[in-house]
Amino acid sequence: MSDLQWDALRIPIDLAFFFRSSTTQGVVGFYPSPAGATESLLSFAAWEALVADNPMLAELESDVEALLVNRLEEARGYYRVPIDRCYELVGLIRAHWQGLAGGAEVRDAIRNFFARIEEAARAPGLGSHA
């Protein structure tokens, strides 16, 4: 995903997840915050352009699989994961957030979370890396 494609999705932070919702019959985008998962007003044209460049995104199982994006610091990680992993990340952020900027504890928790995602992606049959 290029920086232009990311910017077109209009996500206000560099961490988000996207999934097909059977309730809305479309794709929804969320980003984790200290208050929980926050829905973003997703640009559907931008999402469709991203799917055109990455056809596997059209195969995400509704309400089950998500595209998890980590662009924090210098990271450029894109993962096809079970949606519960996205909400696990949301819970981690809520549990470890301190003050206005989050603090070192939440940054460490996020790094450790993505290290586990990377490890699972490398293990045969346990995860997939998008």
Strands (E), 1-130: 15-21, 26-33, 36-40, 65-70, 77-82, 128-129
**pTM across the whole model:** 0.89
For all residues of the chain together, what is the average pLDDT? 91
Task: Look at residue 115 in the predicted model and tell me its pLDDT.
Answer: 94
Does pLDDT of 123 surpass 90?
A: no
At 41, the pLDDT band (50, 70, 90 cuts) reads confident
Task: Using pLDDT thresholds of 50, 70 and 90, give the confidence band for residue 124.
Answer: low
HSE, side-chain direction, 13 A CA sphere, residue 82: 6
Residue 79: partners with Cβ closer than 8 Å, 6 or more residues away: 67, 68, 69, 70, 117, 121, 127, 128, 129, 130
Q: What percent of the chain has pLDDT over 70?
A: 95
Binning pLDDT at 50, 70 and 90, where does residue 129 land?
A: very low
Q: pLDDT (tens digit, 9 = 90+) per residue, 57-83? A: 999 999 999 999 999 988 899 999 999
Q: Give the chain's domain count.
A: 1
Contact (Cβ atoms closer than 8 angstroms) between residue 28 and residue 42: yes
Q: What is the mean pLDDT of the segment spanning 20-29?
A: 93
Question: 54 is in which domain, residue-wise?
Answer: 3-129
| CB neighbourhood size of 79 (10 A) | 21
